[in-house]
Amino acid sequence: MDEDHKNFKWLVLLTVIIGTFLGRLDQTIVNLALPKIITDFRITVTSASWIATAYILANAVFVPIWGKLGDTIGRKKVYLWGFGIFIFGSALAGFAWNLSSMIVFRIIQAIASSADYPTAMAILAVTFNHGKERAQALGLWSVSFAAASVFGPLIGGPMIDIFGWRSIFLLNIPIGIIGVVMALIYIKESVSEKKTIYFDWWGAVTLGAALSALVLVLDQGSLWGWLDLRSVLCYLATAIFTVIFILIELDAKEPIVDLKFFQNSVFVNILVNNFVVFMALMGAVFLVPIFCQTYLGYDATKTGYIFIPMAFCMVVASAIGGTFTGKVAPKFILFASTFMAAVGVFLFSYLDPRSSIWSVIVPLSVMAFGLGFGMSQRTNGITVVVPVEEMGIASSVLALGRNIAGSFGIAIFGTILTDATKTNVLNTAYHSVINVTNSTVYSQAVQLIILKAQIDAYKPVFWTASAVLLIGAFLSLFINISKEQMTHGHTAEDFVEI
């Protein structure tokens, strides 16, 4: 790698952060715009949910494909193609005229956005080839995911109110062009030394089918019913296509997902830790804005402000955690990180309608600091146990794990909330006596019983999420990467530069 590129490596980090931030920001803002889109297109809420579902499905299916292509034809090429298609898809979405056109254009955006994670991580891994710097860079890059979810409501809310929902898609165009120009200037091309001759199309198709069925039931299962025929068919499709996929990969000349990754105990343990952490955090935290707006009376803007300290804590903790690379064994950092996140989530269980704003900010900040503290170790751990020539596909597996974990978390904890509410209504009603004959007062009493049941239902959600994180903390102690391994970076000889 030439000297000029070494001088520009932090600009490479800034470049991929822009791409990652923009893709996640778009996903967050679109959720805010759904009420306006529903009104303009004159569609139902159920129909509008397919705008988000189609995006999630396409994103999940194409992540491993882009990861393999990045390793094969060049990470910079794939990154630029993804960015360019994303800008094109954003422009189309900004001019969508009905639900069908919006779904198609969101699928285009999702296909493009799925190129970002595996290629960006591989680009950073070969750009920062010294352990401590690489850990800090990957940690700061990972924080951009959380930052996007925080700034989405802050940026999107006013834009939608002032300029309309189409503006959130058109905003991607100028920012995206800046990102493309920076990528052209600062990112050097890198490919795997292992040349691909046969692309594993059958593996890609069967994996895509399995992921589509899984993500679909996780996203729609709560509406259909988990034992509904449609849900059962999705379970069967997931199982059948997963088995077929594994059989294909075992015999494939150049598999789209090399199953030997799963013979590496460190890779598997990092994957499990990531899954547990993101399942608990996504499953619990998506309920916090709902609680704030429903029971604390906050508007969307005030709720967004609450998340700013969270982003700050995550960035600071990520930088601090990166400095421990090579000084402390990663498993101890991950244990402390996950344990602190568990404490933060547990503190949410004390929320009630009388809670102050600090009762929300403090748990969010503790949780975010914990998550950020181990972020660089989680991401960097993959780079030291996987060959550079398979960095893209390995990072795509990590991304898939996180995405599916988030879907699992939202589905599971949403179901826990619903079931707990029903149970609480029955228990509270059973132990309540309403000594009135006035129908108005009686109706108010019933509403209070339901309200109390709904509020109390949040507690078991946060307790369960905290327990899951505690399990994740202890599982992290099985991640046997030495501090010396974390300081070993891949050298320039490990990859082919063009």
- 67: its two tokens: 């990861």
* DSSP code at position 74: -
Amino acid 22: pLDDT: 84
Amino acid 285: pLDDT: 72
In tens, the pLDDT along 241-282 reads 999 999 998 887 777 777 877 887 888 888 888 888 888 777
Angle at 104 between CA 101 and CA 107, to 5 degrees: 150
Q: Is residue 3 pLDDT above 90, yes or no? A: no
Q: Is residue 491 pLDDT above 50, yes or no? A: no
Amino acid 4: pLDDT: 53
Q: Is residue 199 pLDDT above 60, yes or no? A: yes
Secondary element (H or E) of residue 19: helix 9-41
Torsion sign, CA atoms 17, 20, 25, 26: positive
Who wins on pLDDT, 285 or 475?
Answer: 475
pLDDT category, 314, cuts 50, 70, 90? confident
Please, which residues have CB within 8 angstroms of residue 310's CB and are 6 or more apart in sequence?
146, 150, 361, 364, 365, 367, 368
* pLDDT cut 90: percent of the chain above it: 15
Q: Is residue 89 pLDDT above 90, yes or no? A: yes
Q: Is residue 73 pLDDT above 70, yes or no? A: yes
Amino acid 492: pLDDT: 36
Who wins on pLDDT, 46 or 475?
Answer: 475
Amino acid 198: pLDDT: 65
Render 135-161 in DSSP notation, one character per residue: HHHHHHHHHHHHHHHHHHHHHHHHHHH
pLDDT category, 240, cuts 50, 70, 90? very high
Which of 153-162, 348-357, 478-487 is predicted with the least confidence, judged by mean pLDDT?
478-487
- 325: its two tokens: 């690379």
Who wins on pLDDT, 459 or 426?
Answer: 459
In tens, the pLDDT along 394-412 reads 777 777 777 788 777 877 8
Who wins on pLDDT, 414 or 496?
Answer: 414
How far apart (Å, rounded) are the C-alpha atoms in residues 318 and 401?
21
Q: What phi and psi values does residue 190 have, to the nearest 5 degrees?
A: -145, 140
- 404: its two tokens: 């599916």
The one-letter amino acid at 487: T
- CA-wise closest residue to 215 among 354, 62, 86: 62
Whether the CB-CB separation of 335 and 463 falls below 8 Å is answered with: no
Q: What phi and psi values does residue 489 have, to the nearest 5 degrees?
A: -105, 155
Residue 436 vs residues 433, 454, 462: alpha-carbon distances, Å: 9, 23, 36
In tens, the pLDDT along 336-352 reads 999 999 999 999 989 88
- Beta partners for residue 496, in sequence order: 191
Amino acid 398: pLDDT: 78
